[in-house]
Amino acid sequence: MKIRNSIQDIKDEITAYRRSLHQHPQTSYEEEFASGLVRDKLSEWGITFEDKIAVTGIVATIEGETNNSGKVIGLRADMDALDIIEDVTGKPHASKIPGKMHGCGHDGHTAMLLGAAKYLKENRNFDGKVHLIFQPAEEGAGGAHKMIEEGLFKRFPMDAVYGLHNWPKLPKGKIAMRSGPIMAAAERFDIQISGTGGHAAMPHKTIDPIIIGTQIVTALQTLVSRTADPLDPVVISITNFNAGTGAFNVIPDSAHLSGTLRAFTPEMRSNMMQRIHEVAADTAKMLGGSAICEFAAGGYDPTINTAAETAQCADIAKALVGEDLVDTDVTPSMGAEDFGAMLQAVPGCYIWMGQGEADETSHHNQGLHTPQYDFNDDIIPLGIEYWVRVVENTLGR
When the beta carbons of 264 and 339 are compared against Zn ion, the nearer one is 339
Between the alpha carbon of residue 43 and those of residues 33, 53, 162, 321, 332, the distances in Å are 15, 17, 24, 32, 38
- Cβ neighbours, 10 Å, residue 32: 13
Strand 326-327 and strand 175-176: the pairing is parallel
d(CA 330, CA 182): 8
When the beta carbons of 104 and 220 are compared against Zn ion, the nearer one is 104
Which among 198, 293, 297 has a CA at the least distance from the CA of 253? 198
Q: HEC states along 317-351?
A: HHHHHCHHHEECECCCECCCCCHHHHHHHCCEEEE
Between the alpha carbon of residue 364 and those of residues 209, 212, 220, 300, 337, the distances in Å are 45, 44, 36, 27, 20
When the beta carbons of 71 and 109 are compared against Zn ion, the nearer one is 109
Least distance (Å) from Zn ion to the CB of residue 140?
9
Residue 132's φ and ψ, nearest 5 degrees, are: -105, 115
Least distance (Å) from Zn ion to the CB of residue 164?
10
Least distance (Å) from Zn ion to the CB of residue 141?
12
When the beta carbons of 139 and 208 are compared against Zn ion, the nearer one is 139
Least distance (Å) from Zn ion to the CB of residue 337?
7
Least distance (Å) from Zn ion to the CB of residue 301?
16
- Cβ neighbours, 10 Å, residue 395: 22
When the beta carbons of 141 and 235 are compared against Zn ion, the nearer one is 141
Least distance (Å) from Zn ion to the CB of residue 188?
15
How many residues can be counted in the chain?
Answer: 397
Give the single-character DSSP code of 38. H
Least distance (Å) from Zn ion to the CB of residue 106?
6
In order, the DSSP letters of 175-187 are EE-BSEEEE-EEE
Least distance (Å) from Zn ion to the CB of residue 120?
23
When the beta carbons of 186 and 236 are compared against Zn ion, the nearer one is 186
d(CA 114, CA 132): 9
Residues binding Zn ion (CB under 5 A): 104
When the beta carbons of 21 and 104 are compared against Zn ion, the nearer one is 104
Which among 75, 57, 157 has a CA at the least distance from the CA of 116? 75
When the beta carbons of 104 and 111 are compared against Zn ion, the nearer one is 104
Least distance (Å) from Zn ion to the CB of residue 165?
6
When the beta carbons of 34 and 104 are compared against Zn ion, the nearer one is 104
- In terms of Cβ atoms closer than 10 Å to its own Cβ (0-12, 13-18, 19+), residue 361 is exposed
**Positive/negative CA dihedral, 343, 346, 347, 348:** negative
